[in-house]
A and B are shown apart, each in its own frame.
Chain A
């Protein structure tokens, strides 16, 4: 009907454009184009990017049926596909571990897979088959809820730039060996790791994100590291065990990262760094470090405060500082060791670039007050300081506010916001 008169608008566009269009469609819509017309029958089959997300699930309440349907869909699609597959993602799809995945990975390993993301849903972990380690062109890998057992003959992914493992079971030796055998690795993220002593040796690494229960972290060869984010869960017995060790965690961890630009420490990170700290003067300066965020800093532990101070004073270009206090403090603790502040913070120290300070979970303990005094007094270009107290008692808040009012401000432009919670 009118097909003869109206020319086909789109089917004769170059295949590269058709593929650009199809890649931007949800995968089911892309496959459906095969019934548009004779010319379109196999246009979809050469697309190099396959992303299976929640949109490819049929609406149905029977979970098993849905799962079976998705598994069959993917298997059939791969069977009909032609040519290389560079990107294969299964995300947000609540896929459960099943044998078909082995076949998909085998297929991908023979088709130049570069970007592979497998996110499994609740249930058993999936054990990656040995053919997976033959994916030589892999540049980006993200796994969730899998098990990795690299064979002894595995020499690493020579093109891998980004590695993200979330809730992945892998032995400590295997993960260290994997990291060090990927020479181009730039971005590494490990989360939900348990009881791991980790040594990271990655000469090209720029972005590192660690989250889990680590017993020890050593950054051995990471001179190019730019961003670091660590959420460290320390159980009490681990902490005790560490107290006995003589090496300084701070140096082991942050000793070899001169190019660091952003540092984020969560949960017990400051505590971890404080162990073994010899309180000596730090030999390193972080000339590029512009943002520091530390959470759960216990202002009752002098060693933790010292860690924070060391970081701040070793970063001449620090612009932004976020400190969040510890929630484990009982307000009104008697302050011991106030002479610490005179010793560690000479009045002539200057934080010449610091512009923004945000302090949250402040309980009003004396050391916190001294810390604020120090910051206000040494920041000539400070623009904004926000203080968010954690206590609800009006009386305590008022006491804190009165103390803060006394402090000398080095910056005439500094605005101090005392933000009282709801």
Chain B
């Protein structure tokens, strides 16, 4: 909006001052040129012809307190001068955001309500720098965030990020349990000749079974492998093998169930253990499988 356009629209607007009302209902006079730097104020003046006198002062959004307005006007006052070099502006910006965190957040909110995007970006960047590299406790401390997630909830999305000591500990426990289970399977498998092979369908794949001891490897999600198979991953033999392994492991667990129920059933990922798992073939090891323990070991997907 050039000055000439503005004077054509409304000669009244050439007055150098506008009246602004902040969140505490106090009204102040501000140089128009500087206030116009904020799109919100600009709109109010042009579209609604507000601000020309004390009676029709522009009502600023409630996030803008007098202190914040003063800061924002300082910012506008500096930047609306055209002759400044980029270096000068950058240097000013860096000093500008060296305020305490509480005021920084308030300033971000106020700038956003006035639609002053450059200032929002600047303050956001400063807040990001505060957050970066800090531990959750520190961040909660700085921003007064409530620590209201349960332990389990905290772990859920982050299970694979191994640098949290709690997760490392849990992973170690899981790994230990997994190892124990594998040991038992191996022992079971050694007496496999007594098992009658079952043909079963699992998620559309029918596998021939040769029950053999598989080499130790980490559990992979079979649905994941299946998807990659569907997505045309030709030649991903490892993926296919992995799903076979998974099926075998599950089948072994299932066979205990089936041997007692005498029916083939589709195994769920998190097994419908209905107590039959505790029954074993006579040739197996005598260690009973702890029901709840096994439940926890399954990969939580």
Contacts and interface: CB of A to CB of B under 8 A. Distances in A.
Nearest to A24: B128
Contact of B157 (A10, A22, A26, A80): A80
Contacts of A102: 228, 231-233
B80 to A, nearest CB: 23
Contacts of A72: 160
Contacts of A130: 232
B105 A14 contact: no
B109 A37 contact: no
B141 to A, nearest CB: 9
A14 B105 CA distance: 11
A35 B158 contact: yes
Contacts of A190: none
A17 B120 contact: yes
B239 interface: yes
Interface string B207-233: 000000000000000001001100111
B11 interface: no
B146 A99 contact: no
A32 B228 CA distance: 28
B172 interface: no
Contact of A129 (B125, B142, B232): B232
Contact of A41 (B101, B131, B153): B153
Contacts of A14: 109, 112
Nearest to B134: A29
Nearest to B236: A99
A73 B157 CA distance: 10
A25 B128 contact: yes
A199 B228 CA distance: 37
B148 interface: yes
B160 A76 contact: yes
B295 to A, nearest CB: 22
A22 B128 CA distance: 7
A26 B131 CA distance: 10
Sorting the interface of chain B by its residue count into under 10, 10 to 19, 20 to 34 or 35 or more gives 35 or more
A10 B132 contact: no
B193 interface: no
Contacts, number: 118
B105 A58 contact: no
B158 A100 contact: no
Nearest to B163: A58
Interface in A7-39: 7-11, 13-14, 16-17, 20-22, 24-26, 28-29, 31-39
A76 B224 CA distance: 11
Given A17-B108, A33-B131, A129-B232, A3 B160 contact: no
A10 B127 contact: yes
B157 A8 contact: no
Nearest to B127: A21
A35 B139 CA distance: 11
A195 B161 CA distance: 45
Given A25-B132, A32-B136, A58-B163, A11 B145 contact: yes
Query: Which of B133, B136, B227 has its CB near the most chain A CB atoms (within 10 A)?
Result: B136
Contact of B149 (A7, A10, A35): A35
B186 to A, nearest CB: 24
Interface in A29-64: 29, 31-41, 58
B40 to A, nearest CB: 14
B269 interface: no
Nearest to A12: B109
Contacts of A26: 132
A97 to B, nearest CB: 12
Contacts of A69: 160, 162
B134 to A, nearest CB: 8
B146 A38 contact: yes
B3 interface: no
B150 to A, nearest CB: 10
A106 interface: yes
Nearest to A105: B231
Given A2-B144, A37-B148, A21 B131 contact: yes
A422 interface: no
A103 interface: yes
A339 interface: no
B270 interface: no
B15 interface: no
A395 interface: no
Interface in B34-55: none
Contacts of B133: 29
Contact of B143 (A9, A29, A38, A76): A9
Interface in B259-279: none
Name the residue in A13, A26, A28, A99 with the highest tally of chain B Cβ atoms < 10 Å from its Cβ. A99
Candidate in B128, B133, B224 with the most chain A CB atoms within 10 angstroms:
B128
A17 B122 CA distance: 11
B213 to A, nearest CB: 24
A11 to B, nearest CB: 6
B180 interface: no
Contact of B144 (A6, A21, A131): A6
Interface in B155-194: 157-163
A313 B174 CA distance: 76
B154 interface: yes
A13 B128 contact: no
B124 A10 contact: no
14 contacts: A3-B147, A11-B143, A17-B112, A17-B124, A20-B124, A31-B157, A31-B161, A35-B157, A37-B145, A37-B147, A38-B146, A100-B228, A103-B227, A129-B231
Interface of A: 2-3, 6-11, 13-14, 16-17, 20-22, 24-26, 28-29, 31-41, 58, 69, 72-73, 75-76, 80, 99-100, 102-103, 106, 129-131
Given A25-B128, A32-B158, 11 more contacts: A3-B146, A17-B120, A25-B131, A32-B136, A33-B139, A35-B158, A36-B136, A37-B147, A38-B148, A69-B160, A102-B232
Interface of B: 101-102, 105, 108-109, 112, 120-121, 124-125, 127-128, 131-133, 136, 139-140, 142-149, 153-154, 157-163, 224, 227-228, 231-233, 236, 239
